[in-house]
Each structure stands twice: as structure tokens, then as C-alpha cells.
Structure 1
Amino acid sequence: MDRTTLRVDHLWRDGAWQRDVRIGVEETGALGAPDEHTEQHLGWVLPGMPNLHSHAFQRAMAGLAERRGPGDDSFWTWREAMYAFASRIGPDALKAIAAQLYVEMLKAGYTHVCEFHYLHQQPDGRPYADAAAMSRALIAAADEAGIGMTLLPVLYLSGGFDGRPLSERQRRFGLRVDAYLQLIETLRREENPMLRVGAALHSLRAVPEAALREVLAAEPLKQGPIHIHIAEQIGEVQDCLAVRNARPVQWLLDHAAVDARWCLVHATHLDRSEIARLAASGAVAGLCPTTEANLGDGLFPLAEYLDAGGRLGIGSDSHISVSPKEDLRWLEYGQRLRDRHRNIAARRRGASVGETLWQAATAGGAQAADMPLGACAEGRRADLLVLDDDAPQLAARDAASMLDSFLFAGNAPLVRDVMVGGVWVVRDFRHRDEARIAARYRGTVETLRATA
């Protein structure tokens, strides 16, 4: 890749639009100082959005769990449908599904994905000949699509807070602690400027206390990001209280050195003490509003958390929707519906909701990914979004209204071009390889449905 300089009319940097900026893109794919090299002229440019929570395989089942069952449906009934779907997916299918998903992410404005990955074994629980086969399928899909990845292999040991063994459908998720740590060490040898390997604990119900202590003390987890599902459903909170005599976030903060390396995914159900303690820890709350809405999880206490100085990012999770605009919009809209007020995320007079949320989510997403992302600054990876300033939805908009209009003025595609690591992967709304990737995906899901 040759070094180049970009001349930008409006660049989102340091929480504001800056005019007439020249930025350099180094051969390494990082942003640097401009020089005399060939310039490209761009209009309105944003930093790419990190997607801090993804289960790639679930994209292929989006829309297939929307018929009512015999009783009241919930996260737990949806989970059974998800388990049945996951049981049919092997490495080739996973790569095809993930590559299609990652193309959709890029076109929507996500330039990096944190993949919370727990499909480790074969569907019957037996290991693959290559213990990292499913992980490598995801890495290959990200490389093919051109998106950055933080791969988060998941530790999943038990089926509930009471320590029950994994069910038949959960067996492919399970790894012993020693095998899990070996998987992380193996994958870390493949790290590069587009790939980071961290760790994930599925949830407190899936990782018993003794195993939690053991894995957190192990050498591979002394560096890199750590993610965990937590306090997503009321039932989880009730079970934790019954077995561990504490709420999930309270228990975790009491028993682990939670700090800026951690991302607490969902953290939907918090009391006031947990809000304050989570914010003070420096960890990121990983919010997935469209998935949380689809599953009926509940609403995160956004205003209180922001007032406490909390950090947040967004993820598309089950990929019922793949759009940072929509997830940020519904993060705000859920609060409006609950509180019957407007402009909740803007915590001071004159503040913009769109600017507040985009700035918070890019910063929090970069922290959760543990990568130099989320800002148009020297030394950060050159992940850029070029908005379509010819779009009617953005007509007559200026710096004071551009980000709010981008997020709240409908659903038309407004990201025209996408650069990741200094490489243009989307130009004029088209991904560089989307036709071939989409054709393979269609064949894959047709086969999966035929074998259901």
C-alpha cells in the first residue's frame, strides 16, 4: 500500500467537526502526518465505528424466531431456537455466514468487530482435528471482507448458577480451562494490525467461581481485553441472588479486578450502586439495543450511567439489525419511551444527541476492542467513513446538524465509502467482493434450511 494524503472538507475529530484538514495514511495502514504525496479529496468524514459484540453465526437465523410459541416467549425460548440452529454450523458454513455479515457491517459503518465466539467443538461435542478450526473460520472471513477483528474465544463450563453440566445442545461450547487457555495462546500467534485476540467469559452462570479465579490468574489473561455477558435478563439477576447472594454486576465487581480491560456486555439490570461502581471501574458497558429489544431484555439506565461518567460502546450481537445508526438511535429511543422525554443522551444544554452517542461509542468500542481505533488521529488505524453529502437526507445540513441528521433522518444508506487500515473496502456503496460473498452465503443458508 502506498502512502497517501487525504484532504477533508469536514473531519470529525476530538468531538467536533474540523474544516479543511489534511491527514496522511501511512503504508502501515495507520493515520499519520500529511505530506506532498498524492491527495484524495473527501467531504464529510467520520471515524469508523467498532462493533463490540457479535455472534456471527446468528446473522443467518435473523427473522426465524418471530412466531409465538405455546406460552410466553422470552430470551430463554429464543435461546433454544438458537441452539438448534447452531448445531448445524461447521467451519465452512461459519466462514460463509461471517463474511456476508462483515460485508454488511462495513457498508453500514462498522470497521472492526469483537467476535464473542463459543462454537468451539463439533455439534456432538467432539473436538475438531484442529482445535482452532472454528476460530480460524472467523479470522478468514474477516480477512476476506476486510474488517478488523478482536477475536474473543469464550469459556463456557456449566449450564447454570447451580453448576449443572452443559446440556446436549451446549456441549459444543465447552472447553476445559487448560484447553481454553491453549486456544488463546495458539490464536495469539496469529495477531497482526487487523487482528487482536482477547478472552471472554460467557457469563457468571456459565463460569463457576473457582474456574473464574483460575482463568483470571492464568498468564494469557494477564493481557488483552476481557468480555462477559452479564445482567441481561431479570431471571439471571434472580438466580444470581439466590445462589450467590448478590446481583451479577455487584458479585463480579466484588470478586474480580474489573478495570479498563473489561467489557460488561448488556449490563441491562443495574441498581444505583452498580451503576456508580461500574462507571468508576473504567470498564465499558457493551450495549446492544436492537438485540436487547428483540429479546425483550429491558432498558439500560443510560442517563444515570452517563452522569456517573460511565463508558459505553455498541454491538449488533444477534444481528437482527446490522447498523450502528439504528443501535445508537434505539439506545436513545428506548430511554425516551421509558421516561417520556426527549434528548436523553445529551446531558447538558445545547449538547447534541448524535454527537454525544457517536463520540462515546467510538471511544468505548476502541477500548473494548483493545485496538488503536475510534478516532481520526495520528497513530490510530486509518478506519474512515465518507458520508454521502449528495443524499437528500443530508441536504442543507451543516456541522451543527450533520451527525444528528446522519443518525436520525431515516434508514437510507448514507455511508458512501469505507476505508479500513488504509484500504478502501467500500466505494460508492459497493463492497469490493460483495457479489461473490453473497452468492456463497445464499447457497450456505439454503443448505442449512434444507437440513433443518
Structure 2
Amino acid sequence: MTTRIFARQALMADGWRANVTVEVDEAGLISGVSDTDGRADHRVGVLLPALSNVHSHSFQRAMAGLAETRGPTAIDDFWTWRQVMYRFLEILSPDDIQVIAAQVQMEMLEAGYAAQAEFHYLHHAPGGRAYAQVEETSLRHIEAARLTGIGFTHLPVLYMQGGLDGSALEGGQLRFGCSLDAFQTLHSRLSGHFADLPDDFVLGVAPHSLRAVSAEGLRASVQLGEGGPVHIHAAEQVGEVREVVDALGARPVRWLLDNMPVDHHWCFIHATQMDPAETVDLAGSGAVAGLCPITEANLGDGIFDGARYLQAGGRIGIGSDSNVKIALTEELRMLEVSQRLRDRQRVILTEQAVPSNGRYLYERAARGGAQAIGRNAGRIEVGALADLTALDDANPAICALKQDTVLDAWIFAGSDGVVSDVWAAGRHMVSGGRHIHHERIARDFTQTIYRLREAL
């Protein structure tokens, strides 16, 4: 059965078109596009290729706002935030993980994302005890995605050691830990499950970081995930860069580019601490920089060198990482305004061919995000997945605006509340601005949060 979506304005792969009908087939693919205003199953104002959220630790959504009090030292940073996260880990059950994941996915869809990559390292029970089914917590994320209908890329994480010195895991890290053999078993079990999942559900790998995996583990995990997405935290913190230089003799991004087969399958998460040469070389590698501006600001990571990277042809995707706040427009806005504050200029991330700041950011995040999570999306054209976001053109933030100005106004002066509908691989999961299972998912999440916060 074909679904027809009529839009008064649509941002197609080759630019804006007015009064267009997009046809979606039973496989969730765009099967036709026509300049007609005929029979339609849905009528929307502005139709966009939906973004993919390239980086998420869903469970951290439940601790949002709980790490905003300064710790016992004079300086509070990522490392003190991490201690709060480790304490929180001690009370999460698989049921909790599934409920929180569903809430996160629902909020992403309502914000305008059609797909999510889950960078999943919460493998074990408190204390590091293995579950009877090694893939237990991964399956909870998959079940959440079945309920929410979000496009889903699962990235099981290899986390082997407590630091570059090979120290043993301890405390909260024990829930993350995997030997290489255990990780290979986990990945194999998950591969079996994915054979029975929707076609747009993707399995990749995520060697956590150069701090948390050995060189042998990194190479083996990359080989294990050959042909699929490979995500890694890289150069997020100044302290991390120092440790890697001391242990490996090179900065993190430089070491990865020189020692790993980095290509279009790779996504470097954060990369906020690169020198100019690394920035240009990462841009030329074909990899995607997975940027999480809200979290990077919240944790004090630093400012990504966006202008240099994009001018060198670099590709970007947007993620919500810690999920302290899930807000698609704010992620894009934060990326640009951080450049403005640093350089004391305006409208920095754009180019002569696309002078609109909003469109430039949005299109690059759409295409780069889809690449990063192994998804045939990020554009509206025949043959692509029907990952589509519609905006309410009667909303005061964008009413009476046309084409590029719609995106400028939405991103820099609006909010995610402008989103009216979202389709993920043709699944119509958001209508009238709300997820079709909003009440059920929100109720379960609220009940879980009450219990968790009382236990802290």
C-alpha cells in the first residue's frame, strides 16, 4: 500500500519545491515524487529529510539535572560529573533501562529525529555480574525501538580497561566491562537477533575510546563490525589528549588516522580537542564527526573547530549524548553560536553556494548523520528511506516564511515544538506534534523516575 504525503513546501535532494507529493511504499522507501496537489493521506506545511541522532547514552536521561551542583573541589568538570553517573548506575535494572530508552526515543522523535544510534555500554548487572542472557540490556533497547518505531542503530561497546595503563575496571565501570572474547560472543548473539528485526535496524560496533580499549581490542572490534558503522569517543577532553600522548606518542585523532583503516564507516564522537592538522585530515578521511553541542557545553568539553573542518569538506552528524536535554534545534543552534562566541563573528558555518546558516547546518547534519549510522536516509529522493519531518507552517515561529528562511527561523528563533509529524522508514510515529504512544511511554517513565530518584 502506498502512502501519499502532500507538502506545501519540501526540501528535496536538489533543493526546495512547492506543492509536492511524496509517495512511500510498504518497505518504507520513497517510491515517487510529483508536483501535484491530488489525493493525499497526509497534508503538511513544510517537509524535510529527518535527522538521525548519531550518539546517545539513553540511561543518562534519567539523571539529567542531578549533576549541576559543584562537587567538593574548587573546579568541577567532566570527571566529577562521571562520578555522579557511576553512582546512578548502581540502581538501574533491565526494566528501568527499557523504560528510559523508550522515553528517550519518543522525545527524539517528537523533536524531529527519525533515527537513533545507541552507544551502548551498560552490559552487565551492578558489580559486573553477567546476565544469564549476555545481550539482555541490548535487547531492552531493541524492544524500546520496536515500541517507539524509531529507526535504530545499535552500537555495542567494547570497554576493556580503566585507562591507557591497562588498569582493571572498578566501581561503576564494572557494568561496562567486556573481554575481547565476551564482546565477540555478544556481537554474535546480537547478529542473530538482527536477522529478524526491521530492515532499517542496523548493528555496528563501538570501541569505547583509546583509553578503554587496547590496540588489539580496537583492531579486533573494527574487524568484527566490518562493513557497518564504527563509532569511537575521540579527543573529547584535554586530560584525555594528554593521557593518549603520554601513552601512545600522538594525539588521539592523529593516532587513529595513522593506525586504523578510517573511512566513511567511522564516526569520531566529539573531537573537540583537535589541532588544525588533525581537523583537516579528519575532514579528508571520509569519516563523520559526531557532534553533541548541548552535552559538550554541559560538560565543558570545548568548542569544535567547525569552520575549519567544514571548509575542508568534513562531514558532521548530531547526537544528544548524555540526553541532559533532547532538542534538535538547540543542538544545531549551539553548534553555530559557539563558533560565534569564540570568533566574535556571525553566520560562520555556511558557504557561498548555501548562504543560509540554517539550511547549511541542517542538510549537512541530515546527510552526515545518516552516513554515520549506516542508514539510507538524510535526503528526500526516490529510493531513500522515508525518514521525514514535517513542520507546522502555521506556527508563529515560521508562518509566512519560505524556503531557506524557514530553516533559519526554526533553528535560530524557534523550537522543536514546530514539528508536527515524523515518519521513520515510512512509520508515522508523530502526529500533531505527539508520539502515537506518548501517554503510555511518559506514564511508565514518570513512575520509574519517582522510584529511582527516591533510591538515590
Fold match by TM threshold 0.5: yes
Residue of structure 2 in register with 1:383 after alignment = 387
Give how far 1:349 is off.
7.4
Task: Tell me the residue number matched to 1:46.
Answer: 48
Match of 2:303 in 1: 299
Map of 1:420-435 to 2, 5 A cutoff? 420-435=424-439
Dislocated runs of 4+, deviation >6 Å: none
Instruction: Determine the structure 2 residue equivalent to 1:28.
Output: 27
Over residues 204-257 of structure 1, what are the superposed CA-to-partner deviations in whole Å (9 max), with x where a residue is unaligned? 00011122233334xx32221100001000000111111111100001111101
> What does residue 131 of structure 2 align with?
128
> What is the CA-CA distance between 1:34 and the residue it aligns to?
5.3
- Supply the AA of the counterpart residue of 2:68: E
- Matching residue's letter, 1:110: Y
The match for 1:209 is 215
TM-score, normalising length: structure 2: 0.96
* Residue segments in structure 1 that go unaligned for 5+ positions in a row: none
Distance 2:217 2:108 in 1: 34
Alignment-derived partner of residue 202 in structure 2? 196
* Structure 1 residue identity aligned to 2:415: N
2:24–2:30 contact (8 Å) kept in structure 1: yes
C-alpha contact (below 8 Å) 2:111/2:416 kept by paired residues: no
Deviations 1:3-41 (A, max 9, x none): 122222211112521122222110111111259975533
Q: Choose from 222, 227, 233 the match for 2:237.
A: 233
Residues 30 and 323 of structure 1: is their aligned pair in 2 closer, same or farther, counting only changes over 3 Å? same
Q: Aligned with 2:334: secondary structure?
A: helix
For 1:412 and 1:5, how far apart are their aligned partners in 2? 24
Q: What TM-score does the superposition give when structure 1 sets the normalisation length?
A: 0.96
Change (3 A) 1:51 1:319: same
Residue of structure 1 equivalent to 2:413: 409
**1:145 lines up with 2:148 in the alignment:** yes
Matches within 5 A, 1:209-288: 209-217=215-223, 220-288=224-292
**Pairwise CA distance, 1:379:** 1.6
2:55/2:319 contact within 8 Å kept: yes
Instruction: Kindly indicate whether the alpha-carbon contact (under 8 Å) linking 1:46 and 1:385 is maintained by their aligned counterparts in 2.
Output: yes
| Counterpart residue number, 2:66 | 64
Is 1:322 aligned with 2:326?
Answer: yes
RMSD: 1.5
| Residue identity matched to 2:24 | V
Matched residue, 2:366: 362
Tell me how far apart the structure 2 counterparts of residues 212 and 446 of structure 1 sit (CA, whole Å): 39
In the alignment, structure 2 segments of 5+ residues that lack a partner are: none
- 1:405 Cα shift? 0.8
**Which stretch shows the higher mean deviation, 259-268 or 191-200?**
191-200
Secondary structure (helix, strand or coil) at the match of 1:33 reads strand
* Residue 10 (structure 2) pairs with residue 11 (structure 1): yes
Whole-Å separation in 2 of the counterparts to 1:214 and 1:399 = 47
Aligned counterparts of 2:17 and 2:433: Cα–Cα separation in 1: 25
Note if 1:92 corresponds to 2:95. Answer: yes
2:423 partner SS: strand
Say whether the 8 Å CA contact 1:199–1:221 is kept in structure 2.
yes
